[in-house]
């Protein structure tokens, strides 16, 4: 592992994995609403949210999924990685105060283009809340 750039492509192996955890706070939800412009009452108005199928406020799905980005950029492959794509499936709500654990696992290595497909899963406790795949371009010792 390169301490400045994380894992280079040449260091990666199928099955490698890393997890990053973040507790979603009230401040995170308010700041995400401001940054994104998504002021859906389901996220910011408890009285309204009580009338929904969730019976209370939930975090923005993209806020919950953003923990994946922290796992990729901070751990695997790590700093210097370029995010090329992500697909997501939202499976369950995340509530203020929940701790989201994002786990990324190397599932495919493309040697020709030096690209990596990662399995991405976010959980709260034992429950999967977000799942999908990410395509990334890590650093490489053999870049041209």
Phi first, then psi, for residue 137 (nearest 5°) are: -120, 100
pLDDT at res. 6: 82
Q: Pairing between strand 82-90 and 17-23?
A: unpaired
What are the residue ranges spanned by the domains of the chain? 13-137
9 C-beta neighbours (distance < 10 Å), count: 22
Cβ atoms of residues 31 and 41 within 8 Å: no
Q: Give the distance from CA 34 to its chain's centroid.
A: 20
User: Which superfamily does 13-137 belong to?
Assistant: Hotdog Thioesterase (3.10.129.10)
Rounded to two decimals, the pTM is: 0.92
Cβ atoms of residues 132 and 117 within 8 Å: no
Q: What is the pLDDT along the chain (144 residues), one digit of tens a residue?
A: 555 668 999 999 999 999 999 999 999 999 999 999 999 999 999 999 999 999 999 999 999 999 999 999 999 999 999 999 999 999 999 999 999 999 999 999 999 999 999 999 999 999 999 999 999 999 998 864
Cβ atoms of residues 114 and 138 within 8 Å: yes
């Amino acid at each position: 592992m390169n301490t400045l750039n994380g894992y280079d492509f040449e260091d990666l192996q199928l099955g490698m994995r890393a997890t990053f955890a973040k507790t979603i706070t009230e401040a995170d939800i308010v700041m995400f609403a401001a940054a994104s412009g998504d002021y859906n009452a389901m996220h910011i108005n408890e009285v309204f949210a009580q009338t929904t199928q969730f019976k209370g406020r939930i975090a923005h799905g993209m806020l919950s999924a953003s923990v994946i980005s922290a796992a990729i950029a901070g751990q695997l492959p790590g700093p210097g990685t370029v995010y090329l794509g992500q697909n997501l499936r939202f499976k369950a709500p995340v509530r203020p105060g929940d701790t989201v654990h994002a786990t990324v696992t190397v599932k495919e290595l493309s040697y020709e283009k030096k690209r990596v497909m990662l399995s991405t899963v976010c959980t709260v406790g034992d429950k999967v809340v977000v799942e999908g795949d990410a395509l990334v371009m890590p650093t490489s010792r053999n870049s041209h």
